[in-house]
Amino acid sequence: MILGIGTDLANIERIAGTLARFGDRFRNRVFTPTEIAKAERRADTPGTYAKRWAAKEACSKALGTGLRMGIAWKDMAVTNLPTGQPVMQLTGWAAERLAAMTPPGHEAIVHVTLTDDHPWAQAFVVIEARPLP
């Protein structure tokens, strides 16, 4: 059963400009230390941040809230499995919202996919509820 779907498109040049203008103030407000470390290791640093920005926006939409109702940017974090597959990790109010929208007897699974084609970065988030065994 699908609980929520969200998508977002981010302009890589806009994120690059925000990084240039606000630097660490922007990074530390929006991204987790793990996300920052990943982006700073990449050749396309602004593109990496833009994909994660889009994923956070898409996730907030899939949760049915947008970025309001207490969800903080860092409550949604993109990490990667050893295979490179992106994974959305929820903490704080985002995790509470996910638990509240998950039907009894089900587990919530957050699927995320990221892509970019300069100047755009895009993310899709689908929240699935699977019956527990």
> What is the C-alpha separation between 32 and 9, in angstroms, rounded?
20
pLDDT of residue 66 exceeding 90, the answer is no
Question: The CATH number of the domain where 101 resides is what?
Answer: 3.90.470.20
Range of the domain at 105: 2-131
pLDDT in tens, 71-127: 899 999 999 999 999 999 999 999 999 999 999 999 999 999 999 999 999 999 999
pLDDT in tens, 12-24: 999 999 999 999 9
Give the total number of structural domains in the chain: 1
pLDDT tier for residue 46 given thresholds of 50, 70 and 90: very high
